[in-house]
Each structure stands twice: as C-alpha cells, then as structure tokens.
Amino acid sequence: MAKQYDFLFRLLMLGDSGVGKTCMLRRFTESEFDPSHISTIGVDFKMKTLEIDGVKVRVQIWDTAGQERYQTITKQYYRRAQGIIFVYDITNEPSFLHIAKWISDVEEYASDKVQRILVGNKSDEEPMRRVTKTEGSKLAGRYGMDFFETSASSSSNICESFTHVTELVLQDHKRDVDNLLGSLDDYLDKVTLEEEKGRQDNEENSQKTCAC
C-alpha cells in the first residue's frame, strides 16, 4: 500500500502534572476538551497528519506523565524525540519555575538537535493568571525557543503551536538532507574531476608513445 505521508516525526510533551498536556493533545488530534483530570500513567501517544508547504507530515506525539514517580520511564522517550513542547500552566507559578528543570533534563537526555518550543497553557483563565505573557516570552527567549500561550479549553493557538514545532523539525530535516546532498555533489564532482584527469594523463601518455 502506498505511504500516506512523506515524513514521520516524533514529538514529546513535557511539563508538570496538571498543566494540560493531555487536554492539548486531545484538542489537537480529536478536537475535544475534557475538563476532568486523569493523570497520565507513564506515556501515551496520538498521531496526526499535517500538510506543510505541500509536504505530508505524520506526527507521533508522546504525552508524558508530569508526576515525578514516572520520570524514569518518561526519560527513556527523550532520546528519540525530534521536537519537544515544554508546557506550563499560566495560573500555576511553580509549573513555570519548573520549566528550567525540564529543560535541563532534556539537555542531559535528548538529542542536541531536538527542536523545542515553550507553551503557557490555560490562557482562557485570565483572572487566575500568575505568570505574565512577558515572563513566558522572556524565558523562551533565554533558551532560544519560540513561545505560545494556548488554551486547550477554547482551542486558542493549539493547532498553531503543534504545527510550529513540526515546521521546525521539518526545516531541520530538510537542512540535513540538503547538507547530505551537498556532500554527495562535492564527492561526485571530485570523482568526475579525477576521472577526467586520468583520461587526460592516459591520452598524453599514449601521444608520447606514438611520438617515439
């Protein structure tokens, strides 16, 4: 059967328990919002296909448990992620302060090339806000990440944030392919030049032989 997509990328969601990772993922993949909080056990994943600039990208999004007790399990998923979404809750300051810890874990366990974005979720809860947009944006800037405020409840910026991290992974992948093709071109040019030089040397040698 023909493949239904051009690329398959793995994304990972990280952040404290209760910040809304599962709700964001359900909103993105199933357009649903469930206000109950059932803590994720270990890890879970959902798939979705996106079309970016005519390229079909299938994303496998891993939703990790925020609870400390599952971290030995969840850390095993860091290495294979190509994109990471760090999530905090704008109504919960500790979840924002813990982002530095999540980032340091990723720096320790994930690939150096992993693409990352920062998300402040629950932007619909404005009266309960404890972390300003400027604080979120500054933290993201400090780590060289793009920043979004989302709401799984109202759906604000959900599609934009998942699509953006996928675009970053796709761009990085294309850069790798271009570099590989560039090296292949250089190699083929070198081989052609050497063959050309070999032919010329042979011709010169045979002319010399004839003259004798």
Ligand X SMILES: Nc1nc2c(ncn2[C@@H]2O[C@H](COP(=O)(O)OP(=O)(O)OP(=O)(O)O)[C@@H](O)[C@H]2O)c(=O)[nH]1
Among residues 17, 29, 137, 163, which is the contact residue for ligand X, using CB under 6 A?
Answer: 17
Among residues 6, 93, 105, 124, which is the contact residue for ligand X, using CB under 6 A?
Answer: 124
Among residues 12, 21, 99, 161, which is the contact residue for ligand X, using CB under 6 A?
Answer: 21
Asked if 22 is part of the footprint of ligand X (rule: CB under 6 A), the reply reads yes
Phi, psi of 111 (to 5 degrees): -70, 150
In angstroms, the CA 172 to CA 111 distance is: 13
Among residues 5, 6, 10, 18, which is the contact residue for ligand X, using CB under 6 A?
Answer: 18
Residue 126 DSSP label? G
Q: Shortest gap between Cβ of 163 and ligand X (angstroms)?
A: 18
Q: Shortest gap between Cβ of 44 and ligand X (angstroms)?
A: 9
- CA 151 to each of CA 25, 28, 107, 110, 118: distance values in angstroms, whole numbers, following the listed order: 11, 11, 27, 27, 14
Asked if 122 is part of the footprint of ligand X (rule: CB under 6 A), the reply reads yes
Among residues 92, 153, 157, 161, which is the contact residue for ligand X, using CB under 6 A?
Answer: 153
In angstroms, the CA 208 to CA 78 distance is: 65
Residue 16 in tokens: 């404290």
Q: Shortest gap between Cβ of 72 and ligand X (angstroms)?
A: 15
The residue among 57 and 131 lying less far from ligand X, judged by its C-beta, is 131
The residue among 22 and 82 lying less far from ligand X, judged by its C-beta, is 22
Which position has the token pair 């947009």? 133
Site for ligand X in 180-199 (CB under 6 A): none
Among residues 37, 80, 113, 174, which is the contact residue for ligand X, using CB under 6 A?
Answer: 37
Q: What is the DSSP string of 129-169?
A: --S-HHHHHHHHHHTT-EEEE--TTT-TTHHHHHHHHHHHH
Answer yes or no: are the C-beta atoms of 149 and 157 closer than 8 Å. yes
Asked if 42 is part of the footprint of ligand X (rule: CB under 6 A), the reply reads no
The residue among 121 and 161 lying less far from ligand X, judged by its C-beta, is 121
HSE at residue 197, side-chain half, CA atoms within 13 A, is 6
Among residues 11, 14, 19, 103, which is the contact residue for ligand X, using CB under 6 A?
Answer: 19
DSSP 3-state of 5: coil
Q: Shortest gap between Cβ of 148 and ligand X (angstroms)?
A: 12
Residues in touch with ligand X (CB under 6 A): 17-23, 35-37, 39-40, 65-67, 121-122, 124-125, 151-153
